[in-house]
Structure 1
Amino acid sequence: MLYRDEAIVLRTHKLGEADRIITLLTRQHGRVRAVARGVRKTTSRWGSRLEPFTHVDLQLAEGRSLDTVTQAETLTPFSGSLGLDYDRYTSGTVMLETAERLVSEEKQPAVQQFLLLVGGLRAMSAGEHAPGQVLDSYLLRSLSVAGYAPSFEHCTRCGEEGPHRWFSPAAGGVLCSRCRIPGAAHPSAGTVAVLGALLAGDWPVVHAAEPRQLREASGVVAAYLAWHLERGLRSLAYVER
């Protein structure tokens, strides 16, 4: 059975002499692993269309364990712009790994995660915001779509309106002084405001933030991500914070 879908190529690895296994985040079928036959041959007409970061329109044939790519048309070659800048490339790689971890392989629609990733890669390529800021905003939003939305305005335990100065990944966001738990971090008020702005996409607030607030916010985001993914991302180690 054949089907069509939009996808972002998340990663690839070699299979045999000339084939590749492609891991995709698709709009309507979630995370899909598919074989691309002959794409490593020098005569392949569409091997370059199936590189990480590429936004493609695909036709696939369903298989028992792996689907097979039968057609591929490039929609947006994000790899071209991201590959020229180390910071954007490494931040983009974290986005791809995060999407792969958050979306199940069951063939269910993943429209919100797909659109978030496309929008995040487009923002990363445009260069209007610093790579780390785009990455942190994407991570918070993708976690929210996955059901792990953090609270930066109200105490996650009692609901008291903030601002609050304690933060716990285990609790799911900020805590008031009465509800704080052992091990909770104590970010500055400015950092908490930056975190809320990153989640909401309030870029004027993010751009006005001090460098130390942005660094502290990145640390909070990384801790929150690691908690909910249960282990860290390999690609995050290469991002300069």
Structure 2
Amino acid sequence: MPTYRDEAIVLRTHKLGEADRIITLLCRGRGKVRAVARGVRRTSSRFGGRLEPFSHVDVQLALGRSLDVITQAESLHNYGDLLVGDYALYTTGETMLEVADRLMAIENEPSQRQYLLLQGALRVLGRGTSDGPRPAPVILGSYLLRSLAIAGYAPVLDSCARCGLGGPHEWFAPAAGGMVCSSCRPPGSARPDRACWGLMSALITGDWPATRGVSDQVERRAVGLISAFATWHMDHGLRALQLVPQA
């Protein structure tokens, strides 16, 4: 059978039969791929723990009729090792994996940007940025905004999402697409303060220095709005997001 090789991050796994697993991968070149790992649940498996969620691997796959088959896997990093000892970090990472899986709905649709964003977010979550560690909610907020932007669902933060009137405006409505003016705001719109708007703008651009010195209260408000926006535009609630501790 023809084979191909790619770098990938394991998003999730499912049992198949007595000893196999279906592995969902986000590949650098091929996008999301679902493949079978034969015998991986046996203690004698040569893959061992290389194909668990959070694993960053170099994989070789053989093309199959319905599912490709993993023939080789070499571990590059295991981001889970950096997260498993901290509940908040681990559930935040699980949310990232779920978001990546959901946004890459079409298999074999290349999206190197989603792959690189997820890889970078997991690395920052476990090791921090060049200027030190960052709170897990802030990293999650940035990842949600930037992954949604890549998928075409970026919130409007500089003008009214409904009428296009230039901002800044006072209101935020997830169902409307972001910032809204007083004339367009639907019932139940949130009213973030200036610091909250500033943090969301920094998170969507990945401006980590600008997130320094922000109070915990502002972080909570901003990440809460971002989570509401992500939940609305992904049609169904994110299961892992419900487990992330609310500070």
Specify which of 167, 181, 185 is matched with residue 176 of structure 1.
Answer: 181
Q: CA deviation at 1:237?
A: 1.0
- Decide whether the 8 Å contact of 1:32 with 1:105 is kept in 2: no
Paired residues, number: 241
Task: Say yes or no: does 1:202 pair with 2:202.
Answer: no
TM-score (norm 2): 0.93
- Decide whether the 8 Å contact of 1:164 with 1:189 is kept in 2: no
Unmatched 5+ residue regions in structure 1?
Answer: none
Q: What is the 5 A alignment of 1:131-142?
A: 131-142=136-147
Task: Say yes or no: does 1:146 pair with 2:162.
Answer: no
Look up the match of 2:55.
54
CA RMSD of superposed structures (Å): 1.3
Q: What is the 5 A alignment of 1:41-80?
A: 41-80=42-81
Q: What is the 5 A alignment of 1:1-241?
A: 1-127=2-128, 128-241=133-246
Q: CA deviation at 1:36?
A: 0.4
Distance, in Å, in 2 between the alignment partners of 1:207 and 1:90 is 23
Q: CA deviation at 1:177?
A: 2.0
For 1:180, the aligned partner's letter is R
Q: CA deviation at 1:47?
A: 2.4
- Decide whether the 8 Å contact of 1:97 with 1:233 is kept in 2: yes
Distance, in Å, in 1 between the alignment partners of 2:82 and 2:173 is 36
In structure 1, the residue corresponding to 2:148 is in which secondary structure? helix
For 2:196, the aligned partner's letter is T
- Decide whether the 8 Å contact of 1:194 with 1:206 is kept in 2: yes
- Decide whether the 8 Å contact of 1:163 with 1:189 is kept in 2: no
Distance, in Å, in 1 between the alignment partners of 2:162 and 2:241 is 30
Percent of counterpart pairs with the same letter? 55
- Decide whether the 8 Å contact of 1:30 with 1:104 is kept in 2: no
Distance, in Å, in 1 between the alignment partners of 2:243 and 2:206 is 25
Deviates more, 1:152-161 or 1:118-127: 152-161
For 2:90, the aligned partner's letter is Y
Unmatched 5+ residue regions in structure 2?
Answer: none
Distance, in Å, in 2 between the alignment partners of 1:178 and 1:162 is 13
For 1:54, the aligned partner's letter is S
Give deviations 1:39-72, integer Å, cap 9, x for gaps: 1111122221101001111111111211110011
TM-score (norm 1): 0.95
Q: CA deviation at 1:197?
A: 1.1
Q: CA deviation at 1:169?
A: 1.3
- Decide whether the 8 Å contact of 1:165 with 1:192 is kept in 2: no
In structure 1, the residue corresponding to 2:76 is in which secondary structure? strand
